[in-house]
Amino acid sequence: MVAKKIEELEKKAKIKFKNPDLLQTAVTHRSYLNEHRSYHLEHNERLEFLGDAVLELVVTDYLYQNYPNPEGELTNWRAALVNKDMLSRVSRELGVEDFLQMSRGESKDTGRAREYLLANAFEAIIGAIYLDRGYDEAKKFITENILSRLEEVIKSKLYIDPKSNFQEEAQARAGITPNYRVISESGPDHDKKFVVGVYLEDEEVAQGDGNSKQQAQREAAKAGLEAKGW
Protein backbone atom coordinates (compact mmCIF):
# COMPACT_ATOMS: atom_id res chain seq x y z
CA MET A 1 0.00 0.00 0.00
CA VAL A 2 1.50 3.32 -1.12
CA ALA A 3 0.23 6.28 0.88
CA LYS A 4 -0.94 9.40 -0.94
CA LYS A 5 0.91 12.69 -0.59
CA ILE A 6 0.21 14.44 2.71
CA GLU A 7 -0.84 17.67 0.97
CA GLU A 8 -4.02 15.94 -0.13
CA LEU A 9 -4.88 15.14 3.48
CA GLU A 10 -4.34 18.80 4.39
CA LYS A 11 -7.00 19.70 1.83
CA LYS A 12 -9.41 17.11 3.18
CA ALA A 13 -8.85 18.34 6.75
CA LYS A 14 -9.19 21.96 5.53
CA ILE A 15 -6.03 22.95 7.39
CA LYS A 16 -2.75 24.25 5.99
CA PHE A 17 0.07 23.08 8.25
CA LYS A 18 3.06 25.27 8.99
CA ASN A 19 4.98 22.04 9.62
CA PRO A 20 3.54 19.28 7.39
CA ASP A 21 5.85 16.77 9.08
CA LEU A 22 3.50 16.85 12.08
CA LEU A 23 0.61 15.66 9.93
CA GLN A 24 2.85 13.05 8.29
CA THR A 25 3.83 11.79 11.74
CA ALA A 26 0.15 11.57 12.70
CA VAL A 27 -0.48 8.95 10.01
CA THR A 28 2.70 6.95 10.64
CA HIS A 29 2.13 3.69 12.48
CA ARG A 30 4.85 2.16 14.66
CA SER A 31 5.10 -0.84 12.32
CA TYR A 32 6.22 1.36 9.41
CA LEU A 33 9.39 2.34 11.26
CA ASN A 34 10.26 -1.32 11.77
CA GLU A 35 10.49 -1.77 8.00
CA HIS A 36 11.97 1.68 7.24
CA ARG A 37 14.81 2.21 9.67
CA SER A 38 16.00 5.39 7.96
CA TYR A 39 12.57 7.08 8.11
CA HIS A 40 13.12 10.63 9.39
CA LEU A 41 9.99 10.95 11.53
CA GLU A 42 8.69 9.21 14.65
CA HIS A 43 5.50 7.16 14.85
CA ASN A 44 2.18 8.67 15.90
CA GLU A 45 1.66 7.35 19.43
CA ARG A 46 2.77 10.51 21.26
CA LEU A 47 0.56 12.67 19.04
CA GLU A 48 -2.32 10.25 19.66
CA PHE A 49 -1.81 10.67 23.43
CA LEU A 50 -2.00 14.46 23.06
CA GLY A 51 -4.91 14.44 20.61
CA ASP A 52 -6.96 12.19 22.84
CA ALA A 53 -6.73 14.75 25.66
CA VAL A 54 -7.56 17.70 23.39
CA LEU A 55 -10.55 15.84 21.92
CA GLU A 56 -11.94 14.98 25.34
CA LEU A 57 -11.54 18.57 26.57
CA VAL A 58 -13.24 20.13 23.54
CA VAL A 59 -16.16 17.69 23.63
CA THR A 60 -16.55 17.96 27.41
CA ASP A 61 -16.47 21.77 27.34
CA TYR A 62 -19.04 21.91 24.53
CA LEU A 63 -21.45 19.56 26.32
CA TYR A 64 -21.06 21.40 29.62
CA GLN A 65 -21.62 24.82 28.06
CA ASN A 66 -24.62 23.82 25.91
CA TYR A 67 -26.57 21.15 27.81
CA PRO A 68 -27.93 21.31 31.39
CA ASN A 69 -28.33 17.52 31.50
CA PRO A 70 -27.10 15.44 34.44
CA GLU A 71 -23.47 14.38 34.52
CA GLY A 72 -24.33 10.74 33.72
CA GLU A 73 -26.08 11.64 30.46
CA LEU A 74 -23.29 13.98 29.38
CA THR A 75 -20.73 11.25 30.12
CA ASN A 76 -22.64 8.78 27.93
CA TRP A 77 -22.96 11.29 25.09
CA ARG A 78 -19.26 12.08 25.26
CA ALA A 79 -18.37 8.37 25.24
CA ALA A 80 -20.47 7.86 22.10
CA LEU A 81 -18.70 10.75 20.37
CA VAL A 82 -15.11 9.80 21.22
CA ASN A 83 -15.16 5.99 21.20
CA LYS A 84 -13.09 4.01 18.70
CA ASP A 85 -16.08 3.10 16.53
CA MET A 86 -17.04 6.75 15.98
CA LEU A 87 -13.45 7.93 15.47
CA SER A 88 -12.63 5.19 12.99
CA ARG A 89 -15.82 5.95 11.06
CA VAL A 90 -15.04 9.68 10.85
CA SER A 91 -11.40 8.91 10.01
CA ARG A 92 -12.50 6.66 7.15
CA GLU A 93 -14.93 9.31 5.85
CA LEU A 94 -12.06 11.82 5.80
CA GLY A 95 -10.06 9.36 3.72
CA VAL A 96 -7.30 8.99 6.30
CA GLU A 97 -6.84 5.34 5.35
CA ASP A 98 -5.31 6.37 2.02
CA PHE A 99 -2.52 8.24 3.82
CA LEU A 100 -1.52 5.71 6.46
CA GLN A 101 2.11 4.69 6.64
CA MET A 102 2.25 1.12 7.96
CA SER A 103 4.05 -2.16 7.49
CA ARG A 104 3.13 -4.64 4.77
CA GLY A 105 1.65 -6.90 7.43
CA GLU A 106 -0.52 -4.15 8.89
CA SER A 107 -1.71 -3.09 5.44
CA LYS A 108 -3.16 -6.57 4.88
CA ASP A 109 -5.19 -6.47 8.09
CA THR A 110 -8.61 -5.04 7.30
CA GLY A 111 -10.36 -6.20 10.46
CA ARG A 112 -10.86 -4.69 13.87
CA ALA A 113 -7.18 -3.81 14.11
CA ARG A 114 -7.56 -1.47 11.12
CA GLU A 115 -10.45 0.31 12.83
CA TYR A 116 -8.27 0.96 15.88
CA LEU A 117 -5.45 2.17 13.67
CA LEU A 118 -7.78 4.64 11.94
CA ALA A 119 -9.18 5.88 15.25
CA ASN A 120 -5.70 6.33 16.69
CA ALA A 121 -4.55 8.21 13.58
CA PHE A 122 -7.54 10.54 13.89
CA GLU A 123 -6.58 11.38 17.48
CA ALA A 124 -2.98 11.90 16.35
CA ILE A 125 -4.18 14.32 13.65
CA ILE A 126 -5.94 16.33 16.35
CA GLY A 127 -2.69 16.38 18.32
CA ALA A 128 -0.81 17.55 15.22
CA ILE A 129 -3.31 20.35 14.57
CA TYR A 130 -3.08 21.46 18.20
CA LEU A 131 0.74 21.64 18.09
CA ASP A 132 0.89 23.29 14.67
CA ARG A 133 -2.07 25.68 14.71
CA GLY A 134 -3.20 25.89 18.33
CA TYR A 135 -6.27 25.08 20.38
CA ASP A 136 -8.79 27.11 18.37
CA GLU A 137 -7.97 25.31 15.10
CA ALA A 138 -8.10 21.94 16.85
CA LYS A 139 -11.47 22.92 18.34
CA LYS A 140 -12.77 23.92 14.90
CA PHE A 141 -11.66 20.59 13.40
CA ILE A 142 -13.30 18.63 16.24
CA THR A 143 -16.49 20.69 15.98
CA GLU A 144 -16.80 20.05 12.24
CA ASN A 145 -15.96 16.36 12.35
CA ILE A 146 -17.11 15.08 15.76
CA LEU A 147 -19.51 17.48 17.48
CA SER A 148 -21.51 17.65 14.25
CA ARG A 149 -22.50 14.03 15.02
CA LEU A 150 -24.11 14.83 18.37
CA GLU A 151 -27.64 15.19 17.00
CA GLU A 152 -27.35 11.75 15.39
CA VAL A 153 -25.98 10.28 18.64
CA ILE A 154 -28.93 11.59 20.65
CA LYS A 155 -31.63 10.88 18.05
CA SER A 156 -30.46 7.33 17.34
CA LYS A 157 -29.59 6.65 21.00
CA LEU A 158 -26.03 5.72 20.02
CA TYR A 159 -25.01 6.58 23.57
CA ILE A 160 -26.87 3.49 24.77
CA ASP A 161 -25.22 0.14 24.13
CA PRO A 162 -27.28 -1.33 21.26
CA LYS A 163 -27.62 -4.70 23.03
CA SER A 164 -29.05 -3.01 26.12
CA ASN A 165 -31.29 -0.83 23.97
CA PHE A 166 -32.62 -3.78 21.96
CA GLN A 167 -33.23 -5.80 25.11
CA GLU A 168 -35.15 -2.95 26.77
CA GLU A 169 -37.30 -2.42 23.68
CA ALA A 170 -37.92 -6.15 23.17
CA GLN A 171 -38.99 -6.65 26.77
CA ALA A 172 -41.19 -3.55 26.75
CA ARG A 173 -42.83 -4.17 23.37
CA ALA A 174 -42.90 -7.96 23.08
CA GLY A 175 -42.29 -9.22 26.59
CA ILE A 176 -39.35 -11.26 25.27
CA THR A 177 -35.67 -11.27 26.19
CA PRO A 178 -33.62 -11.54 22.98
CA ASN A 179 -30.99 -14.21 22.46
CA TYR A 180 -27.95 -14.35 20.18
CA ARG A 181 -26.66 -17.27 18.13
CA VAL A 182 -23.44 -17.62 16.13
CA ILE A 183 -24.39 -18.33 12.52
CA SER A 184 -20.90 -18.64 11.08
CA GLU A 185 -17.25 -18.23 11.98
CA SER A 186 -14.45 -17.81 9.45
CA GLY A 187 -10.90 -16.55 8.95
CA PRO A 188 -7.56 -17.14 10.69
CA ASP A 189 -7.19 -16.70 14.44
CA HIS A 190 -5.68 -13.21 14.13
CA ASP A 191 -8.51 -11.98 11.87
CA LYS A 192 -11.66 -13.92 12.75
CA LYS A 193 -15.04 -12.93 11.37
CA PHE A 194 -18.23 -13.88 13.17
CA VAL A 195 -21.79 -13.63 11.91
CA VAL A 196 -24.35 -13.58 14.71
CA GLY A 197 -28.15 -13.52 14.61
CA VAL A 198 -30.38 -11.85 17.19
CA TYR A 199 -33.61 -13.71 17.93
CA LEU A 200 -36.89 -13.13 19.68
CA GLU A 201 -37.63 -16.68 20.74
CA ASP A 202 -37.24 -18.51 17.37
CA GLU A 203 -37.74 -15.44 15.13
CA GLU A 204 -34.50 -14.22 13.61
CA VAL A 205 -34.76 -10.42 13.64
CA ALA A 206 -31.41 -9.48 12.12
CA GLN A 207 -27.78 -10.44 11.65
CA GLY A 208 -24.52 -8.65 12.38
CA ASP A 209 -20.86 -9.39 11.75
CA GLY A 210 -17.63 -8.46 13.47
CA ASN A 211 -14.16 -9.56 14.46
CA SER A 212 -15.41 -10.79 17.84
CA LYS A 213 -18.64 -12.36 19.00
CA GLN A 214 -19.32 -9.30 21.13
CA GLN A 215 -18.91 -6.91 18.19
CA ALA A 216 -21.09 -9.11 15.98
CA GLN A 217 -23.78 -9.14 18.69
CA ARG A 218 -23.70 -5.34 18.91
CA GLU A 219 -24.01 -5.06 15.14
CA ALA A 220 -26.90 -7.55 15.16
CA ALA A 221 -28.64 -5.54 17.88
CA LYS A 222 -28.18 -2.33 15.85
CA ALA A 223 -29.63 -4.02 12.79
CA GLY A 224 -32.45 -5.43 14.93
CA LEU A 225 -33.42 -1.96 16.16
CA GLU A 226 -33.59 -0.76 12.55
CA ALA A 227 -35.49 -3.84 11.38
CA LYS A 228 -38.12 -3.40 14.08
CA GLY A 229 -38.27 0.37 13.74
CA TRP A 230 -37.35 0.75 17.42
C-beta separation of 150 from 45 below 8 A: no
In this prediction, residue 110 carries a pLDDT of 65
Strands (E), the chain: 179-186, 193-200, 203-210
In this prediction, residue 2 carries a pLDDT of 47
- Of all residues in the chain, the percent with pLDDT exceeding 90 is 74
193-203 per-position pLDDT tens digit: 899 999 999 99
Nearest-angstrom CA–CA distance, 154 and 190:
35
Domains of the chain are 6-155 (1.10.1520.10), 162-228 (3.30.160.20)
> N- to C-terminal Cα distance for the chain?
41
Beta strands at 179-186 and 203-210: parallel, antiparallel or unpaired? unpaired
* Residue 201 annotated among the catalytic residues of the structure: no
pTM for the whole structure: 0.77
Identified catalytic residue from 97, 115, 123, 169: 123
Nearest-angstrom CA–CA distance, 162 and 217:
9
Q: Which of 96, 103, 104 is nearest to 124 (CA)?
A: 96
CA-to-CA dists, residue 87 to 92, 112, 119, angstroms? 8, 13, 5
In this prediction, residue 109 carries a pLDDT of 67
Identified catalytic residue from 48, 52, 106, 115: 52
Given a cut of 70, the residues of the chain with pLDDT beneath it are 1-3, 109-112
C-beta separation of 129 from 28 below 8 A: no
143-178 per-position pLDDT tens digit: 999 999 999 999 877 888 889 889 999 999 999 999
In this prediction, residue 3 carries a pLDDT of 57
* Residue 123 annotated among the catalytic residues of the structure: yes
In this prediction, residue 37 carries a pLDDT of 85
In this prediction, residue 61 carries a pLDDT of 98
3-state secondary structure of 162: helix
